[in-house]
Amino acid sequence: MTKVIMQQADVSLVIFDWDGTVMDSIGRIVSSMQAAARLAKLPVPSDFAVKQIIGISLDPAFDILFPGLSQTQRQQLFNHYRQQYLEYDTTPTPLFNGVEQVLQQLKDKNVKLAVATGKARKGLQRMFAETGLAAYFDTSRCADEAQSKPHPDMLEQILQQLDIPAAQAVMVGDTSHDMKMAQTIAMPRIGITHGVHGRDILSQYAPKAIIDSIPELLKVL
C-alpha cells in the first residue's frame, strides 16, 4: 500500500518500535537467545519461536520460550543473554535504510517522534548513543518503565506526557504486539514488513497501511 491514508496535518506524533522497525537487530536477538539457552542448559528455541517474542519484555518472553523456569534459571538466562548480545555475538545490527532521513523529514514538518520498545532503558540509551538518533525523539518508553507489549501502557504514557490524543498519533511497528497495543486504544497504526511479521499477520489488526520500508512511511502519511 503506498496511497496516502492520513493527512500529515492530522498527525502530531509518530511512535516507532525499535527492534525490527528502526534497527535490523532480529538476527542478533535470535542467535543470542539461542546461545543463552545452550549456556543455561535449556532447550534451544527455534528461530521462529524467538522471533515471535521480539518486542515484548524479557520476563514474559522467557515464560513463553522456557516455561517453568526457577528464579535462579531466569537470572542465569538473563545474564547469558545480555552478555551474548552485548559482548560475544557479532551479528550486525544496522539501521534500516533511510531511517535517519525519514526522522529528519518528519521533524522538519514539526511532527513529534517517540520510541516504544521492548528494550530496557539501558539498552535503548546504548542504541541511541551508537546510532546518534537520540536528538530526533521527543520521548521514549522502555520495557522496564511500563507493562509489556501488547498492553498499551507505553503508548498511554507517551500520549499523556506529550498531551496528544491517540487519534493524532501513529504507531509504526513490525509485529503483532505493536499493532495490538495501538488497536487497543484506537490509535492509528502502520505495519512494516521488513522485521518479524508479514502482511498476513499485520493485516489482522486493521492497520491504516502496511509498508515494506521506512521511506514508504512518507508516502502514506
- CA gap 36, 144 in Å, rounded: 21
Give residue 46's pLDDT. 98
Question: Sorting pLDDT into bands at 50, 70 and 90, what band is 10?
Answer: confident
Contact criterion met (CB below 8 Å) for 152 and 207: no
Tell me the C-alpha distance between 133 and 141, whole Å. 15
Number of Cβ within a 10 Å radius of residue 91: 14
Average pLDDT over residues 148-159: 97
DSSP string spanning 142-169?
A: -TTSSPPTTSTHHHHHHHHHHT--GGGE
Say if residues 1 and 209 touch (Cβ distance below 8 Å).
yes
The catalytic position among 10, 17, 59, 89 is: 17
Our answer to whether residue 178 is catalytic in this structure is: no
Edge-to-edge strand ranges of the sheet holding 112-116: 139-141, 112-116, 13-16, 169-173, 189-192, 209-211
pLDDT of 141 reads 98
Fold of 8-25+94-220: Rossmann fold (3.40.50)
Please answer whether residues 14 and 103 qualify as being in contact, where contact means their C-beta atoms are separated by less than 8 angstroms.
no
Q: Is 42 exposed, middle or buried (0-12, 13-18, 19+ CB in 10 A)?
A: middle
* Tens-place pLDDT, residues 81-126: 999 999 999 999 999 999 999 999 999 999 999 999 999 999 999 9
Residues 20 and 206: their CA atoms lie apart, in Å, by: 20
pLDDT tens digits, one per residue of 169-182: 999 999 999 999 99
Which amino acid makes up residue 185?
I
Considering the domain delimited by 26-88, tell me its CATH architecture: Orthogonal Bundle (1.10)
* Cα–Cα distance measured from residue 108 to residue 125, given in angstroms and rounded to the nearest whole number: 24
Q: Percent of the chain at pLDDT above 90?
A: 93
Q: Is 19 a catalytic residue?
A: yes
Parse the chain into domains and list their residue ranges: 8-25+94-220, 26-88
- Catalytic pick from 10, 19, 24, 144? 19
Query: Can you tell me the distance from the alpha carbon of 62 to that of 175, in angstroms, rounded to the nearest whole number?
Result: 18
At residue 2, the pLDDT reads: 47
Query: How much is the pLDDT for 1?
Result: 43
